[in-house]
C-alpha cells in the first residue's frame, strides 16, 4: 500500500494525500492504463517489477485518469527501498507529468503521417533525405521504378542504395541537393519508361 505521498503527488493527481496513503497500489484512487488506453501489462507496473526483479526501473509511461475525468500522461521511475541490513522495506516512486511532451510527439507523428500520405500521391518516384543524405522515406513509385524494397532504402545513405548508382561525386556539396536528387530520380525514371515503351513496340 502507499505509505507516503508528498504535496506534489496531491497536485499531480488532484487527490488529497490522506486519500492516497493507505490505498493499495493495485487499487489506487485513479484509473491507470498505458498511454494508448489499453490495460496495464506486467511490464507497465513499476511497483510489481521492482519487487520481483529487485532493481530500479525507469521511464514507465502510464495514462492517469483523475477523479475529475481529466487525463494526464506520466513517466514513473521506481527503486527498491532497502534497510541497512539489506531487507527490502518497500518501493520509492517518482512520477513526472509528461503530458505536453506526449501531445507534442503525437502531433509530430500526425504531421509525419500526413506528409507521407501526400508523398504517396505523387506519381513520379520520390525520396526524402535528411541533412546527412540518409533516406527518411520514399514513395511506392520509387520502389517500383528502381526495384528496391523499403527495408533496402529507408535509413540508408543515398550513396549506399542499389548498386551504389547514387554515389555521385561531390553530391553532398551541391547547393539544393534535394532538388538535384529529385531531378536525377525523375530523369532516370523517364529513361526507364522510354526503354519499356521501346521494348513493348518491338
- Give residue 194's pLDDT: 56
**Domain for residue 29, yes or no?**
yes
How does pLDDT run across 12-45, given as a tens digit for each residue?
Answer: 888 999 899 989 887 888 999 998 889 988 888 8
Same domain, yes or no: 138 and 189:
yes
How does pLDDT run across 113-158, given as a tens digit for each residue?
Answer: 767 777 677 777 777 777 777 888 888 888 888 788 888 888 888 8
Same domain, yes or no: 98 and 177:
no
pLDDT bin (cut points 50, 70, 90) of residue 178 is low
Same domain, yes or no: 32 and 98:
yes
Instruction: In whole angstroms, give the CA distance from residue 35 to residue 63.
Output: 5
Question: Any idea what the CATH number is for the domain that residue 45 is in?
Answer: 3.30.450.20
Q: What is the dihedral of CA 37, 40, 43, 47, to 10 degrees?
A: 120
Same domain, yes or no: 16 and 44:
yes
Same domain, yes or no: 58 and 23:
yes
Same domain, yes or no: 14 and 74:
yes
Same domain, yes or no: 55 and 85:
yes
Q: Say yes or no to pLDDT of 189 above 60.
A: no
Same domain, yes or no: 11 and 98:
yes
Instruction: In whole angstroms, give the CA distance from residue 138 to residue 161.
Output: 12
Most confident of 18-22, 24-28, 159-163, 171-175: 18-22
**Domain for residue 110, yes or no?**
no
Mean pLDDT rounded to a whole number for the chain? 79
Q: What is the dihedral of CA 68, 72, 77, 78, to 10 degrees?
A: 30
Count: domains in the chain: 2
Residue-level length of the chain: 202
* Enclosing domain of residue 174: 122-201
- Give residue 179's pLDDT: 46
**Domain for residue 115, yes or no?**
no
How does pLDDT run across 37-71, given as a tens digit for each residue?
Answer: 899 888 888 988 998 888 999 999 999 999 888 99
Q: Say yes or no to pLDDT of 176 above 50.
A: no
Same domain, yes or no: 79 and 130:
no
Instruction: In whole angstroms, give the CA distance from residue 43 to residue 31.
Output: 17
pTM attached to this predicted model: 0.51
Amino acid at each position: 500500500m502507499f505509505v507516503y505521498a508528498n504535496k506534489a503527488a496531491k497536485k499531480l493527481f488532484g487527490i488529497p494525500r490522506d486519500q492516497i496513503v493507505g490505498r493499495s497500489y493495485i487499487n489506487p484512487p485513479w484509473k491507470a492504463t498505458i498511454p494508448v488506453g489499453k490495460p496495464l501489462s506486467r511490464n507497465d507496473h513499476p511497483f510489481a517489477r521492482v519487487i520481483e526483479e529487485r532493481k530500479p526501473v525507469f521511464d514507465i509511461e502510464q495514462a492517469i485518469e483523475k477523479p475529475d475525468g481529466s487525463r494526464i500522461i506520466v513517466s514513473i521511475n521506481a527503486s527498491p527501498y532497502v534497510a541497512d541490513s539489506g531487507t527490502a522495506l518497500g518501493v520509492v516512486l517518482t512520477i513526472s507529468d509528461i503530458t505536453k511532451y506526449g501531445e507534442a510527439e503525437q502531433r509530430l507523428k500526425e504531421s509525419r503521417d500526413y506528409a507521407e500520405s501526400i508523398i504517396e500521391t505523387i506519381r513520379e518516384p520520390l525520396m526524402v533525405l535528411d541533412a546527412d543524405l540518409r533516406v527518411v522515406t520514399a514513395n511506392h513509385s520509387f520502389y517500383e521504378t528502381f526495384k528496391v524494397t523499403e527495408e533496402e532504402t529507408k535509413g540508408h545513405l543515398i550513396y549506399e542504395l542499389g548498386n551504389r548508382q547514387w554515389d555521385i561525386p561531390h553530391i553532398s556539396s551541391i547547393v539544393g541537393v534535394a532538388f538535384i536528387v529529385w531531378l536525377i530520380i525523375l530523369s532516370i525514371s523517364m529513361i526507364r519508361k522510354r526503354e519499356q515503351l521501346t521494348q513493348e513496340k518491338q
